[in-house]
Amino acid sequence: MPDISLTDLETFDPNARPRGRERRFLCPFCHGERPRDTAHRCLALDTETGAWFCHRCRDKGLLTDYRSTPEPLKNQRPNRPKRVTLPGSLQPPPVPKPRAEKPAPKYDFWAIAGTLAELDGPAADYLTARGIPEDVASEGYTVTHWGRLWLAFRLVGPDRKMVGLSLRTIGEGEPKKRVIKADPEAPAGVYASPGAFKAPVVIVVEAPIDALSLLAAGSGPVIATIGTNLPSWLAERLALKRVMLAYDADEAGDKATLEAAAKLREFGVHPLRMRPPAPWKDWNDVLQAVGTERLAKMLPEM
């Protein structure tokens, strides 16, 4: 007759629930690697007598808590005997501790925004090297912070006021990209080219560099969502407009297109997919490969 106590059973199967006089447990002697669910609780315990029986391995016995003792148990709660350490094979699987989240880095957004300066120097050279003409590159700014120079783009919210900055470091250093917000709890902001919110036709891309690439080719207004998530507030602002979803030509871009289209349809928008042509991944790749004139010929009529 195997020796086992109620504490042992509850330690092995802490999620077992009482059903009147009977309780069902996972059997610590035969459960093995089976799923830990109700269908596999094959050990039946009579809570009044302490008798137990496993319907799978046919083992049975009487809980040690219910066996007679020479002296009455003192200062112990009923059915709560001293904890017994189970053999290793009977121990329940360890529960992983939740990973502590690293606190968000603290920064003074407006102090950083106060260093915004007109595009010049290495940041301007970076955009030139990516095929962006000087007149279009002026949409960017430079920021000097954390001991580094960054290419910066203003991010706006529903009221078209600045709510954040999209940063890309120029030169060495990690992280290469970073988004900072004036209010960490506020909705995500987007980069919007001049007139984008008032235009009847809008192109939506992932990154500001893609927006500048299309603007360089003479496209209409462009909005960059700084990633693949179209904010709900932006979907509402684009209601009844003609929207071209120009996310990257990869699995993430295609998935983002489907998700953004679903959001936009709720506001009467039936967007079109404007996928970068093969073999290029994004619109800046296309610009660098073919130049502004050929890129302009590839764009659909707006």
Tell me which fold the domain 6-90 belongs to.
DNA Primase; Chain A (3.90.580)
**Rounded to whole angstroms, how far apart are CA atoms 195 and 227?**
21
pLDDT in tens, 139-175: 899 998 888 899 999 999 999 999 999 999 998 777 7
Check residue 72 and give its pLDDT.
45
Report percent pLDDT > 70 for the chain: 88
Q: Per mean pLDDT, which range of 69-78, 168-177, 211-220 is the poorest?
A: 69-78
The alpha-helical segments, DSSP class H, found in the chain are: 6-12, 109-113, 121-129, 134-137, 208-216, 232-237, 251-265, 283-298
Mean pLDDT over the full length of the chain: 87
For the chain, the structural domain boundaries read: 6-90, 118-144+185-298
Q: Which CATH class name applies to 118-144+185-298?
A: alpha beta
Q: Which long-range contacts (CB under 8 A, 24 or more apart) does 266-269 make?
A: 266/235, 267/235, 267/236, 267/238, 267/239, 267/240, 268/239, 268/240, 269/235, 269/238, 269/239, 269/240, 269/241, 269/242, 269/243
CA-based end-to-end distance of the chain = 82
DSSP code of residue 186: S
pTM listed for this prediction = 0.65
Each residue's pLDDT tens digit, 116-133 = 999 989 999 999 999 999
